[in-house]
Amino acid sequence: MSAQAEPRTAGSLAVASGRPTGELRLEIGLRGGRGIATSQFHQGALRVIRPHYLDESGQVCYVVVNPGGGYLGGDVYELDVDVAAGARLLLTTQSATKVYRTPGSHAFQQTRLRLGPGASLEYLPDQLIAYRDASYRQHTVVELDGRASLVMGEIVTPGWSPDGTLFRYDEVRLRSDIYVDGALLALDNLVIRPAQAGSPVTGMVFLEDYTHLGSLMVVDRRVNAALVDELYEVLGPLDPEGQLGISLLDGPGLVLRALSGSTDALNILLLAAVDLLRGRWFGQGRLDLRKY
């Protein structure tokens, strides 16, 4: 299947012809109470910085790097991460994912995440920035054991010109297929096409007057209605315009979505939710990635 093809049915990933632009495979195991890489492979424009530990919990942190600086038309990136039983991983990126003009073909990233019994993954990349005439598609398949824990965030923002004008990109399409114990829990297909709205990015269809979208997906057997109420209570003061929504999945999980006019506001909101969960479930302090 070419890089331009749609992802196949739920549970499968599109396969690019030829060598991908960047490929990263990472397997995390548990040794002496700490997460470690048991297998690591990269080629092309994807790699990881050496692991580090932000606290004494044993959770290992890896940072994904794209030395090429951005995604272009026809680029295909493949990310495959396996977290073994009992291991804990925090996966983030060194900086924003920038998608530049993609004439003739979109940029595409395919990601597969697997979590074993008692494993946990916080997948919190920096924001996705789509510039003028950019088209980007992302397909993520997550396979979890019912005793695993997943927290997965995403922020989409338009690029900007030197004079501060926001660019109107062509399309951002984010699809996530979430399986728990082999059964489909959720299929989330988010499509934003500001160019087809015939107006600047500030008039993007369901985004109304907002330009940035944040999303957080949580899958954990400890998720319930009481937790959703608590999240609203904590996040409400950070959402003065009321653009936050949280929905329980038909199973052990929730989806949080928020609209804003800035990346910083969404980062504050999503990280507040992440901090509540990691503190409650794992006894960890506030997340400070100290990237800048």
Strand arrangement of the beta sheet that strand 171-180 belongs to: 34-44, 22-31, 76-83, 107-115, 135-144, 171-180, 183-192
| Alpha carbon separation from 132 to 157, 179, 260, 261, 290 (Å, rounded) | 12, 34, 20, 18, 30
Give per-10-residue mean pLDDT for the chain (292 aa): 32 57 97 96 94 96 91 95 98 94 93 98 96 94 98 93 75 96 95 63 55 95 97 92 91 94 93 97 90 55
Alpha carbon of residue 75 to chain centroid = 18
DSSP state of 126: P
Question: SS3 for 234?
Answer: helix
Q: Which residue has the tokens 């997965």?
A: 152
Instruction: Specify the pLDDT at position 1.
Output: 24
Q: Which residue has the tokens 């196949």?
A: 8
Partner residues linked to 72 by β-bridges: none
CB within 8 Å of 292: residues ≥ 6 apart: none
pTM: 0.89
